Structure 1
Amino acid sequence: MTVHTPPPEGGRIIDEPMSEALSRRYLAYALSTITNRALPDVRDGFKPVHRRIMYAMHEMRLNPQAAARKCAKVVGEVMGGFHPHGDASIYDALVRLAQDFSQRYPLVDGQGNFGNIDGDSAAAMRYTECKLTPAAMLLMDGIDQDAVDFRPTYDDQDEEPVVLPAGFPNLLANGSSGIAVGMATSIPPHNVGELIEACQLLLDRPEATTEELAAIVPGPDFPTGGVAVEGHASILDAYETGRGGVRLRARWETEDLGRGVWRIVVTEVPYQVQKSKLIADLAELIENKKAPLLADVRDESAEDIRLILEPKSRTVEPEVLMESLFKLSDLEIRFPINMNVLDATGTPRVMGLKACLQAFLDHRREVLVRRGNWRIQKIEKRLHLLEGLRIVFLNLDEVIRIVREEEQPKAVLIARFGLSELQADYVLDTRLRQLARIEEMAIENEYKALSEELAGLRAMIASPAKQSKLIALGLQDVRKAMISPRRTTISEAVDTSAFAPIEAFIPREAITVVLSERGWIRAQKGKVDDPSELKFKEGDSLAFLVPAYTTDKLLLAASDGRIFTIGADKLASGRGHGEPVRLMIDLDEGVGVVNLVAHQPGAKLLVASKAGYGFVAPEDDLLAQKRGGKQVLNGEMLAALRVAGDHVATIGENIKALVFRVDELPEMGRGKGVKLQSFKQGGLADLTTFNAESGPEWVDGGGRRRQWPDWKDWLGKRAQAGRQGPRGLRKFR
């Protein structure tokens, strides 16, 4: 039994500040994530997991001519020998390499269910099979000829390549994406034929500019096609700086059904957009009345994509319908460009198009030289042996005599003919039939051919110009093998200002907006003459009744000082109880609704807090585009009412009233405002606006509206304390 003695006191304890310990360990984690997981290498375009999958399949001899093997076998080999992580992550990476809608040039030939563009996942690895594609073999070409460095695997039992030889610029051809600690990468796929043409331009003229390269590579080429509408200047800037983006739209066409009836057929969807989710989103837009020009959507896809979009009216132009849907759905996406990669030294860098292509060419040059040196070593070794055989043929009888008669023929051969030990062993191991006359001629021919090859290789290694020529010839062969027409159309940027806004196509119909105490909102058609006939859920009642039109925007003021914007056309039908208003806007629980009005261009709202501060806000400045609304008032909002007169009447919780002119209040977009009425204790209870000609009204305890004929007795200046109000006056509304 082994007895483990405890370490000396404090021997395993490191005394250091927590902040230093955390920062050092987190930095190590961040660097590991960046270099070993998230960012691709600029030379072969691979992250470690993809590179290990490729190399493991190469070691398993899964070339295009071989029979496919179970993916479970490949994943096991990768995990056991090279990648000590979960099998799920390895299989996910392998699946993506086989998907023709994810990879512009798939590197794995998958047999079985590898998922689809609808977003369905691949079958389990025990059901699917795979092997390498011809494109993958181009990336591996020369890996057994000392083309790249190798390093020990995680368990020191084997070796793995640091980088693949990369016969074509895979980084840009297939793209890459990933998120690390503090940095990310997003590189779109491109057409390999255009990339190789750009590489050849750089080989001929290393001083070529990014603009010249962009004339050859006009933009990304996504595997799912589509139309890029970013504009040349924007794409050029992204290629120059390594950062930017490209707007990608679905490809569509109009199908004429006769008699003026038509429909839209979508044949290509943007990259990485799941078709099933896109259809569900379009259907939701129709259901929620957010796409007023679209009547129906359905999927008629088989092997090719075919989405049918039915317009609500034949009078709408197809371009207008599609422009509205591009704004509302993933029929248009913006693919970010962030060409953040690991350079040849393993350092994260953001590179432009030229820098990426130049790094690839530098790598190809290094691979070419290393393969040349490897071949030179093989040829020199073979020539050394052939020289020994040539000596044998010149002295064949003497060699035979030495072999037959001498006790130590090897030593005698070395001494007699000046052979090396390696040559002597080779001569002694040579079969008699190889000493025939015809073999002598074959040896001479081989010696001559190898000598010429050796001279050519040495000249190539000494001449950068020859290296460039060989690289160009190799790339030209790759281009012929991988030629593929461009799938993504590069179009000029679309000016959407010429198209009318969606609201212009919403039918203008009179409605009455009903908002209950519990926050359920709906739209009744026409005018509601008798509010008592409205039905609500049990325990609920009417809070606000607002006449409006379907084209109106509704302003909802909340007690937390925010004002939200709701499209009247998006409200649920008045046949039921409606829907919770909190589903339409980000209204927090516990926050009450202060007021609901239909927006009137040019109108103004008087907003006031319970603390007695307020200001006048133009309604046009209060419209919000987001669900979160706009923060307008700093403080708890008491009222947000439309300015309908030239005077303001306030009443405090101390029952003191004050009347002053509206123009004493400042006009502003947001803030705390100014003091409306002074209070020794308590705050503001209510306020209203009115015209001096008609005078104000107030509501008594019985709910009856009463005139206030002598209101001028309470007329004063803003921020005064006021005086005791008329008997019964508690609120104005």
Structure 2
Amino acid sequence: MEEVNESRTISVDVSNEMRTSYLNYAMSVIVSRALPDVRDGLKPVHRRILFDMFEMGLRANTSFKKCARIVGDVLGKYHPHGDASVYDALVRLAQDFSLRYPVVNPQGNFGSIDGDPAAAMRYTEAKMSRIGEEMLQDIQKETVNFGPNYDDSMQEPTVLPASFPFLLANGSSGIAVGMATNMAPHNLQEICDAISAVIDNPDITIDELMEHIKGPDFPSGGIICGLQGIKDAFMTGRGKIVVRSVYEIETSERDHDQIVFTEIPYQVNKADLVKKIDDLRKDGAIPMISVVRDESDRKGIRIVVELKVGAEPMVVLNQLFARTALQSNFNVNNLALVQGRPQMLTLKDMLVYYIRHREEVVTRRTQFDLRKAQERAHILRGLKIGLDNIDEVIQIIKDSADNAIAADRLVSRFGLDQIQAQAIIDMKLGRLSHLETSKILEELADLEQKIAYYQEVLSDEGKILKLVQSEVRALPSSLVPKDRRLTKIAREELGQSTLEDFIKDEQVVVLISNKGFAKRIRAEEYEAHGRAGKGTRTTKLQDGDFVNHMFVAFTHEYVMFVTNAGKAYYTKVFEIPEASKTAKGTSIKNILQLETTEKITSIISFKEFSEDHYLMMATRDGVVKKVSLNNFVNAKVRGIRALFLDEGDELLSCDLIQEGDEVMLITKLGRGLRFRQDNVRAMGRASRGVRGIRLLANDQVAGLLKVDSTKRILMITENGQGKQVNFDSFTVHGRGTQGQKIYRLGGKASFIVGVLSVDDENDVVCATLMGQTLRVHVNAISIQGRNAAGVKVVSMKFAGDSIVAIASTERDDEEEVEIPEQAPVEIEGIVDEDEEEDDIPVEDDVPATEPSDNE
């Protein structure tokens, strides 16, 4: 027997197979699962649920049925997927906090705005609401196309007649493959007015439509802030709509102010919201909150935020809006299926497509009614002929052997067709009475009028549209007669009323600890002391933490945080929580979205972003870079890249400069280089920078200062020594040189901790490793030469303590203590031994490890 060796292996191109399979899957998700049809606004699962409930007879005026029965019926007939997907969709169709106009009437636990899930479907019951019935109105009149179900055993509608504008009224949300939809709900009365206006004027503009549809109308209420987001969404299909909670300020029984929220933004989980507010209270991020309570019941939402004595309600309120979902963005993305294809839709597009759908439905319904009326009239005309010749008809029937012969004889005798003849034969003898005969004639006359009307309507598209218009206008009064707009709209944009309006613009000191705790303290809380005083505690330190950053600014200014990783973040000063002197502060990670390894190395403040101002940056290894401040407008709390660093280097210091400025780089081992800022060209954010100063062995950059002839350079060492030096003591050198000596180190002073640009109107605030702070008048610190060793500025209270950070603030004229004797290390007028090397130019051949002028 000959053996047959047939291979069962099929060779395919894997890339083509993957591409084809994924595309098929993606289109299936887009068309058959995630996106709504623009005509009835439903996804397939919702359409199947409503159609199945219609077939089961679950009308608004009937009894409820178990949801398990509905789900099982849908699964078996139309939707061969998991029961959870069907039940979740059914639950959402019944939730009045999810849908502006629910199409299912629920009975039982269908979930809550707190995120509680619905009870199991064996416990809950449902039926269609009046609005749900309206979605299927006239479906039995061949108004929509039907197609086979999943096993080709039954027919299901491809779209519902939808006399109720579901998509506009309830919106939709869904995530497909590579695209998503998020459509807002609107008020039914406004929608119907807009549909009527489009029918009256097909060339109507979006601005004119906005006179009818004011904006989204969310089931949870709230206040929409500003019209721009609404207009963007209506004109382009995309827009950011800012929604705020509705609140009242009341007085509690303890005479404390309390903020009561009665409406929250759409799709916000109330339980999570209350927990977030309480977490902010516990963390001290909003310290003026005393208690948070959820007093909501079936009558409505009531979230009570009780304040401490002396708290400013509007300040707390705006902090809550900034930090919680009490103010949320609804990002409109009007994506829906148009003839089976995803399309971004404007407001007018959605109205026009709905009108076209209703026009087709009304046309097909009228054609169906016309056909049925003509069929009935045709039979009645035959009955009329039979009644007019009743005696002869009876005789023909009596003389015929059977009904078939009788029908044929009636057809040939009176010119009838088989349908009319059969109707005469089937007519009961009781119809021969005078009254019944009159009814037949009246019915025929009525049908002839209807036929004429239907033919007239079908002959004129304008009359079809008028019919659509009249039906749409009747919807609000018949479905929701007491409906009112739930979401208010404030015409003013949010930017016109911000938290700044409720914050006093005052000078504060910002402290950030080594472990990332931040706080702000009013500058006047620092008591001015004489030079060498002991100071006061400003931070309650724990687990070896210490203050390593200080900054003085006004509360309305921007604060930009630049990290050692070369990223820039910014916030407003008032957004940093205020705390007492002894409080440790709030974690900076609650304010900025810092990465785990990032440390803040420089903080600057400014009033506004400007193209005329630049951020000059300096790294520990002497690299400098200049970037326009306007390039950082999108940084915010998420941060953006400011500088690409070489391996092992880190960003050390920054300052704001503009055209004509000069800057100085000062190193830890006492070298200073003054050069013009235009020696460093402006670069983009994604670049490395260029060499700023040539460092000697083991030296590092200590700070970067902008040259100001009205100010002086103040330097403090780690052991509390310090001095001032005039900027004029240094000449301008080329970028990339070694600079000149600026501080003579030796003895107990090993390196410079920080440098400041100051004048007699400033105080300097020093912070130590163990949390000690001291405020000293700048004019109490000696102005010395470049080669001097300085004087004692700070006396450490604790053994082993050292200076870790310094900052300047406005002068506070308090009585000073006695100035101690100057240290004997100050030397004036001595020529620097290294002066001959002060102006060494940069080499032409820069090694690969050194930064060059190339970005």
Q: TM-score, normalised by structure 1?
A: 0.83
Q: What's 2:346 paired with?
A: 352
Q: What's 1:298 paired with?
A: 293
Is the alpha carbon distance of 1:164 and 1:719 closer, same or farther for their aligned partners in structure 2, counting shifts above 3 Å? farther
CA distance in structure 2 between the aligned counterparts of 1:701 and 1:298, rounded to whole angstroms: 58
1:471 maps onto 2:468 in alignment: yes
Residue 204 of structure 1 is aligned with which of 200, 204, 209?
200
Aligned length: 698
Is the alpha carbon distance of 1:215 and 1:647 closer, same or farther for their aligned partners in structure 2, counting shifts above 3 Å? closer
Is the alpha carbon distance of 1:684 and 1:141 closer, same or farther for their aligned partners in structure 2, counting shifts above 3 Å? farther
In the TM superposition, residue 488 of structure 1 has moved relative to its aligned partner by: 1.4
* Matching residue's letter, 2:358: R
The answer (yes or no) to whether the contact 2:508–2:520 under 8 Å persists in 1 is no
CA distance in structure 2 between the aligned counterparts of 1:522 and 1:87, rounded to whole angstroms: 50
Structure 1 SS opposite 2:105: strand
**What do the CA deviations read for 1:77-104 (whole angstroms, capped 9, x no partner)?**
1111111221111111111110111111
Q: What's 1:331 paired with?
A: 326
Q: What's 1:631 paired with?
A: 642
Residue 380 of structure 1 is aligned with which of 350, 374, 377?
374
**What do the CA deviations read for 1:215-236 (whole angstroms, capped 9, x no partner)?**
11111111111122222x5533
In the TM superposition, what are the counterparts of 1:703-718 in structure 2 within 5 Å?
711-714=832-835, 715-717=837-839
Q: What's 1:674 paired with?
A: 690
Q: What's 2:441 paired with?
A: 444
CA distance in structure 1 between the aligned counterparts of 2:671 and 2:310, rounded to whole angstroms: 59
Q: TM-score, normalised by structure 2?
A: 0.72
CA distance in structure 2 between the aligned counterparts of 1:508 and 1:310, rounded to whole angstroms: 29
**What do the CA deviations read for 1:433-454 (whole angstroms, capped 9, x no partner)?**
3333332222222222222222
Is the alpha carbon distance of 1:207 and 1:548 closer, same or farther for their aligned partners in structure 2, counting shifts above 3 Å? closer
Is the alpha carbon distance of 1:634 and 1:188 closer, same or farther for their aligned partners in structure 2, counting shifts above 3 Å? same
CA distance in structure 2 between the aligned counterparts of 1:520 and 1:498, rounded to whole angstroms: 31
**What do the CA deviations read for 1:224-268 (whole angstroms, capped 9, x no partner)?**
11122222x553343233222322221222335699964332211
Is the alpha carbon distance of 1:595 and 1:499 closer, same or farther for their aligned partners in structure 2, counting shifts above 3 Å? closer
CA distance in structure 2 between the aligned counterparts of 1:580 and 1:320, rounded to whole angstroms: 20
**What do the CA deviations read for 1:377-427 (whole angstroms, capped 9, x no partner)?**
222222232233223323333333333332244224423333322333333
In the TM superposition, what are the counterparts of 1:208-247 in structure 2 within 5 Å?
208-231=204-227, 234-247=229-242
Q: What's 2:821 paired with?
A: none
* Matching residue's letter, 1:338: N
CA distance in structure 1 between the aligned counterparts of 2:244 and 2:460, rounded to whole angstroms: 48
1:613 maps onto 2:613 in alignment: no
1:686 maps onto 2:700 in alignment: yes
Structure 2 SS opposite 1:392: helix
In the TM superposition, what are the counterparts of 1:90-169 in structure 2 within 5 Å?
90-169=86-165
Structure 1 SS opposite 2:210: helix
Q: What's 2:485 paired with?
A: 486
* Matching residue's letter, 1:29: Y
Residue 661 of structure 1 is aligned with which of 664, 669, 674?
674
The answer (yes or no) to whether the contact 2:285–2:586 under 8 Å persists in 1 is no
* Matching residue's letter, 1:626: V
CA distance in structure 2 between the aligned counterparts of 1:647 and 1:246, rounded to whole angstroms: 47
The answer (yes or no) to whether the contact 2:407–2:422 under 8 Å persists in 1 is no
Q: What's 2:263 paired with?
A: 268
**What do the CA deviations read for 1:546-600 (whole angstroms, capped 9, x no partner)?**
58799699877654334566979549989798887667655555x4758477869
Residue 455 of structure 1 is aligned with which of 452, 457, 470?
452
The answer (yes or no) to whether the contact 1:399–1:413 under 8 Å persists in 2 is no
The answer (yes or no) to whether the contact 1:651–1:685 under 8 Å persists in 2 is yes
Gaps of 5+ in 2: 527-533, 608-612, 656-661, 704-714, 716-724, 730-740, 753-788, 790-824, 844-855
Structure 1 SS opposite 2:416: coil
In the TM superposition, residue 27 of structure 1 has moved relative to its aligned partner by: 2.3
Is the alpha carbon distance of 1:650 and 1:269 closer, same or farther for their aligned partners in structure 2, counting shifts above 3 Å? closer
Is the alpha carbon distance of 1:547 and 1:587 closer, same or farther for their aligned partners in structure 2, counting shifts above 3 Å? closer
Q: What's 2:745 paired with?
A: 698
CA distance in structure 2 between the aligned counterparts of 1:385 and 1:434, rounded to whole angstroms: 14
* Matching residue's letter, 1:686: Q
The answer (yes or no) to whether the contact 1:564–1:630 under 8 Å persists in 2 is no
> What is the root-mean-square deviation in Å for CA atoms of aligned residues?
4.2
What's the % identity of the aligned pairs?
A: 32
Structure 1 SS opposite 2:637: coil
Q: What's 1:419 paired with?
A: 416
The answer (yes or no) to whether the contact 1:189–1:221 under 8 Å persists in 2 is yes
Q: What's 2:652 paired with?
A: 640
Is the alpha carbon distance of 1:712 and 1:47 closer, same or farther for their aligned partners in structure 2, counting shifts above 3 Å? farther
Deviates further, 218-227 or 600-609: 600-609
The answer (yes or no) to whether the contact 1:185–1:339 under 8 Å persists in 2 is yes
**What do the CA deviations read for 1:328-377 (whole angstroms, capped 9, x no partner)?**
3222222122222222x223222222222222122222111211221222
Is the alpha carbon distance of 1:110 and 1:606 closer, same or farther for their aligned partners in structure 2, counting shifts above 3 Å? closer
Is the alpha carbon distance of 1:564 and 1:374 closer, same or farther for their aligned partners in structure 2, counting shifts above 3 Å? closer
Is the alpha carbon distance of 1:285 and 1:700 closer, same or farther for their aligned partners in structure 2, counting shifts above 3 Å? same
Structure 2 SS opposite 1:144: helix
Structure 2 SS opposite 1:290: coil
CA distance in structure 2 between the aligned counterparts of 1:267 and 1:131, rounded to whole angstroms: 30
CA distance in structure 2 between the aligned counterparts of 1:243 and 1:227, rounded to whole angstroms: 19
The answer (yes or no) to whether the contact 1:676–1:718 under 8 Å persists in 2 is no
Residue 303 of structure 2 is aligned with which of 304, 307, 323?
307
In the TM superposition, residue 202 of structure 1 has moved relative to its aligned partner by: 2.5
Structure 2 SS opposite 1:451: helix
